[in-house]
Structure 1
Amino acid sequence: MTAAPAEQLRFNVLGPLEGWSSGVRLRLGGAVQERILTALLLDPGRVLPVARLVEAAWDEDPPATASHQVRKAVADLRKRIPGGAAVLLTDGPGYRLVLEEGQSDLGEFGTLVGMAKGAVAGHRLAEAAEMLRSALTLWRGPVLSGTGGPAVAAAATAVEERRLAAWEEYLALRLSLGDSGELIPDLMELTSQHPFRETLRGQLMLALYRSGRQAEALEEYGKVRRLLAGELGVDPGPQLAGLYEDILRESPDLLGAESAAAPPADPVCTLPHDLADFTGREAELAELLRRAAHEGERGPQVVALDGMGGSGKTSLAVRAAHQLAGAYPDGRLHIDLRGYTPGDQPVSTGTALDGLLRALGVPGDRIPEDTAGRTALWRATLAGKRLLILLDNAADAAGVRPLLPTGNGCLVLLTSRSRLIDLDGVHWISLGVMSPRESAALVAETLGAERVAAEPEAAAELTRLCDHLPLALRIATARLRNRPRWTLRYLTERLRDEKRRLDEFSAGARSVSATLRLSYQALDDESRAAFRLLSLHPGGDIDVHAAAALLGCGAWDAEDVLERLLDVHLLRQPDIGLYSFHDLVRSFAHSVSDADGAHGEEAAAAVERLLRYYLTATGAACDVLYPGRRPLPTGVERSAAKLPDLGDAERARTWFTREQDALLAAVKLAERRGLDRYVVCLGRDLAFQLNARGNLAEFAAVGRASVAAAKRLGDLALLGMSLSNLGVACWRSGRFEEGLEAAREGRDVAARTGDRHTEAHSEGTLGQFNSLLGNFPEALAHLRRAIAFERELGVPRAEADDLTLLSTLYEQWGRYEEAEAAALRAIELQAALGRFENQFTAFTDLAFAYAGLGRWEDAALSLDRARAHLGQGADPGNAAVTLALSADVDQHLGRPARVPDLAEQALELVASNASPLRRAKVENIVGRLRRRQGEHRTAFALHADARELAASMRYRIEEAYALSGLADAADGDADAAGHRAAAEKLFERMGVAPDRRRR
């Protein structure tokens, strides 16, 4: 099954798990997410308790935190699936999946089987058989490729039984319609997979007998009789035994309606042989066969495959032709038009017609000399005939058009590297690279499963290095077969060198480089130059505006170039307006750039145009999304390239998110080329995006690169800004010691340059880090200095932010009255500034202070006001803290849990993309709540995870609370005393009063 149509969500579970949205493949996460989603897809509409999903996610011995990890996985899936909250619902004790029938291949399978039963009831047997065939083509292999574990396997077994029942019904219908010989390959494969299934064995015996293979039919009975006796100690059932008796005596009742006719003469067939190890392409093959089944009303049915060189177009077309051959009794013809054959000129139209006419038995002396005469004779010869014609390797529409029949009884299969848009009435199927599963299957088929099983990681890497291109995979595996001493690991090590990789993909007459070079040489000079320059783009996807900047042209001209390269499959299009290189094509582009000397001044100018464009675009996006940020002179001229539409927050955010990976790669590109000013300034803009999205590892990496580049530049202003950003990244990611050092250095730089604003900000950051590390007196001194600076400078916004930090410090210290005063002052300043959307943090801090004072009603009112200010742009970690504390306060007030449960919502929010320090805090709050509710095992797991997180960051106050929570949850356990003692030691070191150490 191919990708879903535009604007439609689709899941395929009958084989490796796939999710599609608007024609784009979804990334569904790791093994735990895939198993949970598969379990829900196999039982759609039903509530699966968390315990059942734990069984599905882990084969045995689930971790203590399994329930939490299931919630985390569900939260992650909701983010990965568009509209996931409406698809994956929390329902009572578990979750259920809500899909329409057409939104999953399993639902579509059930619909088709039901329609087939209705057709049988109406005596429309041929129609019923076609419906069942369509249903069976939805299967792409075992559910989750057989790696789903016992729980998923049990659910998959019931689905597999439905598939086998559909096969038996389909084959029975085909046999009743008089088919026999063409069913034998499928029946042999099915009986080998399910040797005890007597219905299938009987159908194979009948098909063999009707095809004149009586001895083989009788031998099948002998095989199953020996198998049943040896394995089960029983004989075949009476129905199979009766069929055996009928075959022995050649009962006339066994013959189909077609047996009375004389056997026809063998039709002409010039098709190449079908590859015995043909593997993969199930979805494309099913689509091709489906298209071929619809005959043209006023002409031939033409189905065409287009794709890059080496993608396996010919192999797929040959496989389809052999499967369709039975429907074309007058012949099956093949001709290689050699449009892209190394060292050869394309076959002329006249030569092609001569060969086709001779294949049909037309004597040479009857074939005209001119092309027009041959075209007329060819079309006259085909009149009234049913032929299958495979036109392979076509270069252009003009060479194909005269070869097309005019009648409606023929099928033409066509392959070409580019889509021949001048041909009308053609159904095109584009062939990309193979899926990872299909690539792995091809490697196992060609090398042998044992060799792959011995080096599974190297085999997986091999498919990636081959870019899942069939030609590259076949060349690589052929080299391994011919070199038995080579290991998979050895070959992958050779392939890792990008400069040598294309040389490795060469074997005899086959070469990936030569195949790509033919497509490249067919381009005009402008397109070749653009192809080389575009390969300089460092990211995965290139949009029209970035391409225009690289090429130094207008956006419309750039789009024309991109589309030309797309037409010949030197680029691919992952989404509308986006283009990308296959890895091997990019390597080829670099090789021709080196050969043509295109990596000199021309390349340097193109790279700087691209970086200047990205810096201008990110600056414009940040102006829309973060209007309060301080202006910073970049020292870089504004790009003249046209910018995308960034007119409002939604469009700016969408563009930033889509371009994020390319921007990260652009920073690294600037770093490699020594363009340090771009590293710093582009890194600054990107930091806003990474911080907002919670991409903390990338945020920290960009921060470190910016600091290093600013030091190389010797620009203290840029260095101070970069150190400030690095400090924020370290705070968000829990790297407090590194952040403390960056904040100290940033403060000293600011003092040297007289930048009082940055100096104040650095003091606040120092206070924050010391607070997190449990150095409360030092933290207090830094925060007081920061607030004094900010009052002197007249920056109430920054003062309010540091007051919230001060409130948190006082609350952790147990000085609740002072925490209350600081939070109230922050709220007052924010209200005067009109920053109501940011007040939820201050109201949450105020609620913590009230909770410490035992003023639960006041805490609840503050939290009501905090939640009222929560919006879509709220940091998920901060929002989670607010929700967790709300659930905790409700419980203290004796209120029933809200629906949905606020504590569970908080855990789901911090499960992914939230900073580790927020996750530790939330898990401790919810852990205490669950312990008071009597759920000691859940509480213990939450505190254990919080302790691990807090200890790794040296987040001392939450580490202490986690240890205290573990002691309470494990009360009476041998480890409880140890946890309690460790907690008390930490509290004492931080100076937290004894009466304020338990919550």
Structure 2
Amino acid sequence: MTPARTSRAVLFGVHAYRHLAALDGVRHNAPALRSLLVADDLGGLDPAHCVTVPPDSTAAAFLDAVQDAADEAGDLLLVYYAGHGHVGRDDKQLLLSTRESRKARPFHSVPYDEVRAIVAASQAQRKIVIVDSCFSGGALHMAAHPPATERDFEIEGACVLTSAAETERSLCLTEGSVFTLELLAVLASGLPAVLPDGRRGDQQPALTMADLYDTLCARLDGRVIDGHAIPKPRMSTRDNGHRIRLAANRSFATPAPALHPGRGASLDRPGEMGPGRTRTAPAFAPRTQLAPTKYFTGRTEELAELEAMAAAAPAVCLIHGRGGLGKSELLRTVATRVSERFPGGCLEIDLRGWTPGETPRSPDAVIAEQLLHLGHAAQDIPSDPVARAESWRLSLERRAVLLVLDNARDAAQLAPLLPGAGSQSLVLVSSRSALTDLTWDWSRELKPLSKAECADAWHRMGVPESTTGLDEIADRVHGSPLAVRALSTRLRRGAPPEAVLASLADSSPYRAFPDIDAAERAAFTSAYDALDPELRTLVRHAAVHPGPDFGADSLAAMSGLPEHVTQLRLTEIEQLLTHREGRYGFHDLSLGYARERATQDAPEETEPSRNRLYAFLLARLGQEREALRSSPEDDEPIRRARRWLDAHAQELSAAARAAAFDGWEDASAFLLAVGRLWIGGSRIVEAQGLFDLLLTVATEGSLEHAHALTGLGRTYRKQERHAEGMDRQREALALYETHGDTDGQADAVLEIATIDYLLERSATAADGFERAYALYLSTGNEHGQAEALLRLGDNRRNQHRLVEAEDRYRPALELYRILGNRGGEAKVCMGYASILRYRQQYKEAAELFEESYRLFDSLGDQGGLADTLANLSIVRLEQGLVAEALAAAQEALAIYTALGDVRGQGIGLGALAHVSRTQGRLDEALQFHTQAHRLHSEIGDRRGRAIELLGMGYVHLDTKHFDAARESLRESLGLWRDIGDPNGEGDALCGLARLELHLRQHGAAAATVRKALRRYETTGTRFDQAYALVLLADVAAEDPAQGDPAELYRSAAGLYSAAGKEDIAAWCHARVAELTP
């Protein structure tokens, strides 16, 4: 079925797992499917191009295979997965399990988003993804996307078929997974004689994805295995993806010709309804539909789906959305395309449900009018409404009619107009309401036009192709077809796009376009006036909310209604409000009109409403932050707090700013609380803006002023603006001293010391941390004491004074656990783990890093997660777990990048460089080191630069680029000297000694190693001393004049044994044996 040279398939079935339950039957899936796909009479794929990925492969290996296939495919690209499916930490992303997968470590699994992105980018004309796993329906709509009923899979010309919905578990038998067994059966035997839609299966030459899906659904419908219902498969398509041919249909037989010309029924004839059912044209077939505008554009998905519904009629379909989006035009376009399928006529009825100044039409009157259109005599139309509705349904049962019910108001108006169960008609309904009280065969919310669709419409209307700025104009009018039509006249007549954009950017965007304003205002007014008094009050409160969106809890606080009542009533304002994941907002221009009505109808409500909002948010923010500081056995309070803070993030910032501008009495406290919240997260620039505003609100010289300076200084530190950060903290310290605020002094001193620490001024930093600790001790501030001890420990660890670091970490950890501060506990665990890594106790270090990860994850601390992963990557590498090291480094870099953390990105790239060097990918390693060095240079991070130069030097040694190695290592050595880090100096010196050994400069190499050894001896790091002794022994082995190599190996073995590293000590003893005659 597919050109073998340009078609590719990748099959991956995982049946055995180290940490998950086995799925023995899955072992048969991929081999069986491959045998059918390569069969000449079925799939026709070239066996060389149908790849079965080994079941014990890593996530990276599977994605590599998918990428290779996607790069090579020109005609068909097929990706198949069978195995365990689970969701990621965000409870949204679908993850496909590998042999090493475990739920607590998602980096072992395949993120479905990666498969989607690879397939989407392929040049293949036809793309199929089949996922047979639990929760596989998550493939139809990934994180942050609406459900599949609202938006299809985002791959053009594609079809995705899954074994279950996103909340359902798939079933597996010993002979194979249930879904795949049925898939194999359909492929092997072909389509059934009669398809679910009535067509003859044995007269279809190809097995399309639509026919495959319908057949699978029919075969699996209602089946139960061991008391478990088999889930219904799910499918989503894009750009006619349902028409993709997967294979030949083995049941296909060429139909015999009709015995008599003109007699018999053709299955392709539009009037055919299925076995024994035909659409016969009545004597009178009225057609009252209006023609669509010739400028209609876009809506390709909706058109394709509605045409498919017409082919499968009877069906009742709804397109809904706010006014002005082109719902009526869409239905008229569909009606024009499919009306010939309905010989009984095509009736378009304007129900005037939302027409400004009009009363919605009575269904009784509409039925009477339409019965007349259908040829009924007036005297034959019953006067009784019930009898009249029965006559209407009977009439529709006798004929196949296309019924366009435009602008429906509600279920009460619409229900009497719908056909009965026996009708073969197609009903197309448009409404501003989702009409959830009725049952629909197909229902979609119509979205605004895309920028490209707006531009296409303008060009069709005569706007020159050379016109600039159309994308920006489309963005300003929010893709409204109503606005597109109105603006086309101005643009055709030569209005400069710059002038149009300037007008649309005005506070009254449609001032220069009164026709658009009138239509949009009328749409809002009709919806607003239709609400009851309580709902109108809610709309007014929502209108004066300062944020881009709001939660039901916030609106409840503003209105004074109970939250549960507010939640229920908000569902009745769908035309004016958007609703997504528990957050509400206004449709485009509706906000401006709503604020006008709030000012007109109840201006006295605004100030008390907003003040109640500010008080509620400030109090709730305090509660949730306190929950984050606690450490109960149950994580749910912390997760609930994190969810609330994430959901209200934009609202909190907007409300804090508005409180300051409104002059609310507690505005300073509000700004300070939100600013401090964002410093601890990833919204550093936003925090800076809030502290800048606090500086203008607070009285100069006040404690609030000092708090603002401290917060602002912290944001500067987070942005590597250390000089400015130091200045702000010193200003704050002076104010705290003036006010006698000891805790404030301690905060400022701690921040000053932290900046010294980051600038490698270790001794000065240690003095500052000790002073901050003493100040916190004097006030009994245990949180401050723990933080000062933690940073003292970090400082000592950086100096390789590991015992002293442990002495600081120990009491810090005790305090954090007493206080229930998980964030602090996680940081101490990470510090302890780093010490264990220095001591080469990799198993224990990995366990502590994993504990740190768990704690940061429970808090939603992305920065902490990234720091942990970057360190864990190095440990995994030392343990020989290269795939896990790579996954951890990649995840760390992704988080740092999302946070905008430049230093972190450098660390992440450095971790990737180490992995690449271990894999022997030296060019890639050098590239990563170089990129990391550039980032550290940009922010003046000398330690980061020294580390990356050291890495570059060793890569140059590996590739025998000795001049480049010498340059990098010498520059690294200089930086370590400037920083005052003896261990770093020792590492650079050992690298230079390696270089000299390569060049057979034995005397110089021995002298350089001895310098390194002296550096290591000053810090007491036995492992580094042992390494230097081994290196010196290597030199002496080539040149005995530099010492006794056997004695040097013995000395190294003694150091390794004292540290519990008997394996390395044994290697040293083996070297002694080799050298001893």
TM (norm. structure 2) is 0.64
Counterpart of 2:429?
414
Does residue 447 (structure 1) correspond to residue 459 (structure 2)? The answer is: yes
**Percent of aligned positions with the same letter in both sequences?**
22
Secondary structure (helix, strand or coil) at the match of 1:803 reads helix
Counterpart of 2:523?
515
Does residue 616 (structure 1) correspond to residue 619 (structure 2)? The answer is: yes
Moved more, 612-621 or 360-369: 360-369
CA 517–974 in structure 1, closer or farther in 2 if over 3 Å, else same: farther
Structure 1: state its 5+ residue gaps: 1-41, 60-75, 139-157, 179-205, 212-256, 629-644
Counterpart of 1:471?
482
Secondary structure (helix, strand or coil) at the match of 2:355 reads coil
Once residues 370 and 725 of structure 1 are traced to their aligned partners in structure 2, the CA distance between those partners, rounded to angstroms, is 75
Deviation at 1:657, TM superposition (A): 1.5
Counterpart of 2:653 (choices 652, 664, 674) is 664
Secondary structure (helix, strand or coil) at the match of 1:414 reads strand
Does residue 871 (structure 1) correspond to residue 892 (structure 2)? The answer is: no
Counterpart of 2:161?
108
Counterpart of 1:804?
790
Does residue 990 (structure 1) correspond to residue 979 (structure 2)? The answer is: yes
CA 766–824 in structure 1, closer or farther in 2 if over 3 Å, else same: same
Q: How does 1:261-276 map to 2 (within 5 A)?
A: 267-276=285-294
CA 656–886 in structure 1, closer or farther in 2 if over 3 Å, else same: closer
Tell me if the contact between 2:876 and 2:885 (Cα under 8 Å) persists in the aligned partners. Answer: no
Once residues 460 and 945 of structure 1 are traced to their aligned partners in structure 2, the CA distance between those partners, rounded to angstroms, is 35
Counterpart of 2:949 (choices 948, 951, 963) is 963
Once residues 737 and 411 of structure 1 are traced to their aligned partners in structure 2, the CA distance between those partners, rounded to angstroms, is 71
Deviation at 1:548, TM superposition (A): 1.2
Counterpart of 2:576?
570
Tell me if the contact between 2:210 and 2:242 (Cα under 8 Å) persists in the aligned partners. Answer: no
Secondary structure (helix, strand or coil) at the match of 2:648 reads helix
Counterpart of 2:551 (choices 521, 532, 543) is 543
Q: How does 1:156-235 map to 2 (within 5 A)?
A: 163=243, 165=245
Deviation at 1:772, TM superposition (A): 1.3
Once residues 459 and 547 of structure 1 are traced to their aligned partners in structure 2, the CA distance between those partners, rounded to angstroms, is 37
Once residues 394 and 279 of structure 2 are traced to their aligned partners in structure 1, the CA distance between those partners, rounded to angstroms, is 29
Tell me if the contact between 1:502 and 1:584 (Cα under 8 Å) persists in the aligned partners. Answer: no
Counterpart of 1:528?
536
Deviation at 1:614, TM superposition (A): 0.7
Once residues 506 and 973 of structure 1 are traced to their aligned partners in structure 2, the CA distance between those partners, rounded to angstroms, is 75
Deviation at 1:655, TM superposition (A): 1.4
Counterpart of 2:705 (choices 719, 726, 729) is 719
Moved more, 686-695 or 778-787: 686-695
Deviation at 1:618, TM superposition (A): 1.0
Counterpart of 1:227?
none
Counterpart of 1:360?
374
Tell me if the contact between 2:284 and 2:374 (Cα under 8 Å) persists in the aligned partners. Answer: no
TM (norm. structure 1) is 0.68
Once residues 962 and 70 of structure 2 are traced to their aligned partners in structure 1, the CA distance between those partners, rounded to angstroms, is 29
Does residue 587 (structure 1) correspond to residue 595 (structure 2)? The answer is: no
Letter in 1 for 2:486: I
Does residue 461 (structure 1) correspond to residue 472 (structure 2)? The answer is: yes
Tell me if the contact between 2:324 and 2:482 (Cα under 8 Å) persists in the aligned partners. Answer: yes
**Higher relative contact order, chain-length normalized (CA < 8 Å, sep 6+):** 1
CA 367–464 in structure 1, closer or farther in 2 if over 3 Å, else same: same
Tell me if the contact between 2:750 and 2:768 (Cα under 8 Å) persists in the aligned partners. Answer: yes
CA 480–910 in structure 1, closer or farther in 2 if over 3 Å, else same: same
Q: Deviations over 1:336-380 (max 9, x none)?
A: 122333454444556534542342234567768897886676566
Q: Deviations over 1:273-316 (max 9, x none)?
A: 144444444554566566667777xxxx6444433212332223
Does residue 333 (structure 1) correspond to residue 347 (structure 2)? The answer is: yes
CA 514–166 in structure 1, closer or farther in 2 if over 3 Å, else same: farther
Tell me if the contact between 1:877 and 1:910 (Cα under 8 Å) persists in the aligned partners. Answer: no
Once residues 626 and 516 of structure 1 are traced to their aligned partners in structure 2, the CA distance between those partners, rounded to angstroms, is 45
Does residue 759 (structure 1) correspond to residue 732 (structure 2)? The answer is: no
Once residues 824 and 775 of structure 1 are traced to their aligned partners in structure 2, the CA distance between those partners, rounded to angstroms, is 21
Deviation at 1:867, TM superposition (A): 4.2
Does residue 781 (structure 1) correspond to residue 762 (structure 2)? The answer is: no
How many pairs align?
804
Once residues 461 and 969 of structure 2 are traced to their aligned partners in structure 1, the CA distance between those partners, rounded to angstroms, is 54
Letter in 2 for 1:938: E
Deviation at 1:270, TM superposition (A): 0.9
Q: Deviations over 1:367-404 (max 9, x none)?
A: 68897886676566556233232222233555445545
Tell me if the contact between 2:873 and 2:885 (Cα under 8 Å) persists in the aligned partners. Answer: yes
CA 310–132 in structure 1, closer or farther in 2 if over 3 Å, else same: farther
Once residues 257 and 701 of structure 2 are traced to their aligned partners in structure 1, the CA distance between those partners, rounded to angstroms, is 84
Structure 2: state its 5+ residue gaps: 1-49, 73-86, 99-105, 117-129, 141-152, 154-158, 164-179, 215-237, 259-265, 991-1077
Moved more, 606-615 or 792-801: 792-801
Q: How does 1:14-93 map to 2 (within 5 A)?
A: 81-82=92-93, 84=95, 86=97, 90=108
CA 970–699 in structure 1, closer or farther in 2 if over 3 Å, else same: farther
Deviation at 1:924, TM superposition (A): 3.8
Tell me if the contact between 2:796 and 2:804 (Cα under 8 Å) persists in the aligned partners. Answer: no
Once residues 963 and 814 of structure 2 are traced to their aligned partners in structure 1, the CA distance between those partners, rounded to angstroms, is 52
Once residues 532 and 175 of structure 1 are traced to their aligned partners in structure 2, the CA distance between those partners, rounded to angstroms, is 67
Counterpart of 1:816 (choices 785, 788, 800) is 800
Q: How does 1:885-896 map to 2 (within 5 A)?
A: 885=871, 888=874, 896=879
CA 785–350 in structure 1, closer or farther in 2 if over 3 Å, else same: closer
Deviation at 1:850, TM superposition (A): 7.3
Counterpart of 1:705?
693
CA 811–375 in structure 1, closer or farther in 2 if over 3 Å, else same: closer
Once residues 584 and 771 of structure 1 are traced to their aligned partners in structure 2, the CA distance between those partners, rounded to angstroms, is 51
Once residues 540 and 698 of structure 1 are traced to their aligned partners in structure 2, the CA distance between those partners, rounded to angstroms, is 15
Deviation at 1:957, TM superposition (A): 2.0
Once residues 413 and 280 of structure 2 are traced to their aligned partners in structure 1, the CA distance between those partners, rounded to angstroms, is 40
Letter in 2 for 1:417: R
Counterpart of 1:694 (choices 679, 682, 690) is 682
Secondary structure (helix, strand or coil) at the match of 2:657 reads helix
Counterpart of 2:443 (choices 408, 429, 442) is 429
Deviation at 1:493, TM superposition (A): 3.2
Once residues 89 and 649 of structure 1 are traced to their aligned partners in structure 2, the CA distance between those partners, rounded to angstroms, is 23
Tell me if the contact between 2:310 and 2:426 (Cα under 8 Å) persists in the aligned partners. Answer: yes
Q: Deviations over 1:827-871 (max 9, x none)?
A: 24423664696455446545656777xx445x7755654544542
Q: Deviations over 1:948-970 (max 9, x none)?
A: 33233322322333334334434
Tell me if the contact between 1:724 and 1:762 (Cα under 8 Å) persists in the aligned partners. Answer: yes
Deviation at 1:695, TM superposition (A): 3.5
Once residues 514 and 213 of structure 2 are traced to their aligned partners in structure 1, the CA distance between those partners, rounded to angstroms, is 33
Does residue 651 (structure 1) correspond to residue 651 (structure 2)? The answer is: no
Q: How does 1:915-926 map to 2 (within 5 A)?
A: 915-924=901-910
Deviation at 1:269, TM superposition (A): 1.0
Deviation at 1:546, TM superposition (A): 0.9
Moved more, 460-469 or 987-996: 987-996
Secondary structure (helix, strand or coil) at the match of 2:347 reads strand
Does residue 951 (structure 1) correspond to residue 937 (structure 2)? The answer is: yes
Counterpart of 2:199?
126
Once residues 536 and 558 of structure 1 are traced to their aligned partners in structure 2, the CA distance between those partners, rounded to angstroms, is 16
Counterpart of 1:226?
none
Counterpart of 1:313?
327
CA 272–107 in structure 1, closer or farther in 2 if over 3 Å, else same: same
Deviation at 1:550, TM superposition (A): 1.9
CA 820–262 in structure 1, closer or farther in 2 if over 3 Å, else same: closer
Q: Looking at secondary structure, tell me which structure has more helix per residue.
A: 1
Moved more, 881-890 or 323-332: 881-890
Q: Deviations over 1:506-549 (max 9, x none)?
A: 359x8222222222232334433432321222334332211112
CA 167–843 in structure 1, closer or farther in 2 if over 3 Å, else same: closer
Q: Deviations over 1:851-895 (max 9, x none)?
A: 77xx445x775565454454242555455545544554676xxx5
Once residues 890 and 306 of structure 2 are traced to their aligned partners in structure 1, the CA distance between those partners, rounded to angstroms, is 47
Once residues 96 and 688 of structure 2 are traced to their aligned partners in structure 1, the CA distance between those partners, rounded to angstroms, is 30
